[in-house]
Structure formats: C-alpha cells, structure tokens
Amino acid sequence: MKLKRLAVVAIVLAAVGAAGFLLRPTVRADATAELRQAYKASRSQSYTATVTNTLFYCGREYRTRSRVQRKGTLERIEYLSGPMEGAVVVASGAVAGPRGRADSPAPVGSVRDANKNIDLLLENYRACKLGRGTVAGRPVDIIELAPRYRGNPSKRLWVDRVTKVVLKSEDWSAQGRLRSRTEFTDVNYDVHLLDAVFKKSSTGANLASFGDGPDLNRAEIEKAVGIRISFPAYLPTGYVLHGIRVYDCGCCTCGHRSAHLRYINGLNSISIFETPASHNCGGGKCSVHCPSDGRCEVRNANQANVAIAARSDKTVIVVADLPKEQLTKIVESVR
C-alpha cells in the first residue's frame, strides 16, 4: 500500500475544514444543545459500524468502505475497499492539553479542550435544525453549521436522536460545492471492546498509527527546520492558533522539512508551511513549484486553495478552503 503518499494527501485534506449549503435556520437553541451532546458522545460512545466515505475531487467520486470500532477516544479502522484496501489504522484522540504558552499550543484533545473547541465553533458558526430522517436504520436529527462570517465553509450532520453519535456528515466548500460525505450503513452500540483491539500487533504489516508530531516549542521547531518561524500578520476573523509542528514531507525524495502552523475556527482550518529556501521544491517532485521572484501565487487544489510565496530565506505555502483573496492576504503577511 502506498500509505505514505496517501498520508500526504490526507494532511492536505486535513488542512482543509468542512463546508456547507446554507438554508434558513430553524430551532437554533435545540440544535446548539444537541451539537454539544454530539461532541460529548464522540468521546464517550462505543460501537462497531460499517462506514462509507465519498470524496468529490476534480469532477470524480472516490469512495472507500471501512469497518470501524470505536471506544471513547480510541478508534480502529479497517479499510474494506478503495485506495487503502487492506490497511488498518489505529488512532487515539487522547492527547495532552496546551502548555499554556503562546508559542507551543497542543492539539485540542482533553475534555476541557474539547469544550473549548465547541465554544470556538459556536462563536463562528450557527447551528440550526433542518429536520429529521433515518440513517443506518436509526432516527436522526439533521443539523447544519452555517458560518457567521462570509467566505467560510459549512457542514451538515445527521445525529442519532438516542445516542447522539453523528451517523452521517457532509462537508461543503465555501463556494457551495459538496466536498465529501461520510455515512454509516450499519451500527451496533451493544458491544464490549477490549483495549487490545486498539493496539498494534506484531503481525500487522499493514497496521498504521496516525497522529500529530511531538509538541515542540518554537525554538525547538526553528532548530529542527533551520529557519526563523514567522507568524501571519493577517488572519480572517475567528481563527486561533491550534498548534505548531515539524512536518516531514512524504513525497518521493524531495526531503522537505517544514514548520507547520495550523489555525482553526472550530470547523475550518488554515495550514501554513514554512520551508527553507535551500530545499528544491520544484522539478515536479512534489507538484509544488515555488515562484522565484517573491510574488504570491494562488492555485486551486479543488479541495482547497493553495497560496505560495517565496522569501529570501524560505518558501511559504498556505492551504485552506477560503477565497483566493483571503489566502493572498495571509501569505503576503508572513515575512
């Protein structure tokens, strides 16, 4: 399996937030309460399920089918079809909270920080109920997250009315295009899963573990990457720093090592990659060609827009599902 290449694609897609198609809001207070319950359920419920994921990319549909086992923050995904067929991914959402320093925040992971994330989401999005339906034989409420600020994507959720588990979701771009869909085709809550299910086995050749890199401070990252990290002077309303990581490019032999700054608004995200100018990111090795004259260049990556600018000591790449003019202002503000 070409997991390494797929992981690179996953990182770019992860840098993108989710999006949606706006309708007139209805029972907003009830929707907000149910959304909070769904966040809590995502960290506490146990189940097994068959899940279909569909990615809409370049006018085509890419579909995968997987068997998911979930126990609180622990998750095991066995891919049954699609590009990662035969692969098994084990993940855990249980990570440490922030150190309390502005230069080294950790990803949202603790219960307290999960609550902070939902608060941030509701600061930037309006939750509204669109109606009811059925997914995987279970009754659901349909909730839409509509952006309070123009230019952001949005999302629809189909929430189990009893367990509050999200059984279906749709991500829509800021331009109103359907980007992806995740849907349970069956689900069983009457399960008792052992922790051993979520550990890598000695015989699992295709077993992988996905997660963020180590939580380093700014000085440690600058030493590892070899350049001074610059923070953007401009960000759209509602975005806060989520974390800084060292990112090792997984594409072929280019050997990129970048500082990865990630900003979130609770649903969407902005990824800023700062790479030393000494690295050759041209030549088609990574499908990234850096402008040599320092001008900003914006490209459409279908799932997100990509803005690139050259500086004297580094190349700056910004990836986000935002309008091109917003990306241009962000990348030009990183000096």
Q: What is the DSSP string of 38-79?
A: HHHHTTT-EEEEEEEEEEEETTEEEEEEEEEEEETTEEEEEE
Which is more confidently placed, 174 or 152? 152
pTM of the model: 0.77
Residue 114, token pair as written in the block: 């999960």
pLDDT at 202: 46
In this predicted model, what pLDDT tens digit does every residue of 239-298 receive, in sequence order?
999 989 888 865 545 567 899 999 999 999 999 999 998 765 544 444 444 444 444 444
| Among 253, 248, 170, 258, CA closest to 222 | 258
Tokens 């979130």, residue? 264
Q: Of 88, 41, 308, which is closest to residue 200 (Cα–Cα)?
A: 88
As assigned by CATH, the class of the 3-209 domain is mainly beta
What is the assigned CATH class of domain 218-332?
Answer: alpha beta
Mean pLDDT of the chain: 78
**What's the gap between Cα 39 and its chain centre?**
16
Cα separation, 145 vs 25, in Å, equals 10
pLDDT tens digits, one per residue of 13-30: 343 333 333 333 444 678
Which residue, 88, 24, 50, 1, is CA-closest to 187? 50
Structure confidence at residue 31 as a pLDDT band (50, 70, 90): very high
Whether the CB-CB separation of 327 and 316 falls below 8 Å is answered with: no
pLDDT at 293: 47
Q: Quick one: how many helices (H) and strands (E) in the chain?
A: 5, 16
Tokens of 30: 């009830």
Please indicate whether residue 155 or residue 175 has the higher confidence score (pLDDT).
155
d(CA 274, CA 38): 35
Percent of the chain, pLDDT > 90? 55
Q: Where in the chain is the domain with CATH 2.50.20.10?
A: 3-209
Q: Within the chain, which residue ranges are assigned CATH 3.30.200.100?
A: 218-332
| pLDDT at 95 > cutoff 70 | no
For 169-198, what is each residue's pLDDT tens digit?
A: 999 998 899 999 999 999 999 999 998 888
Q: Are 143 and 35 in contact (CB under 8 A)?
A: yes
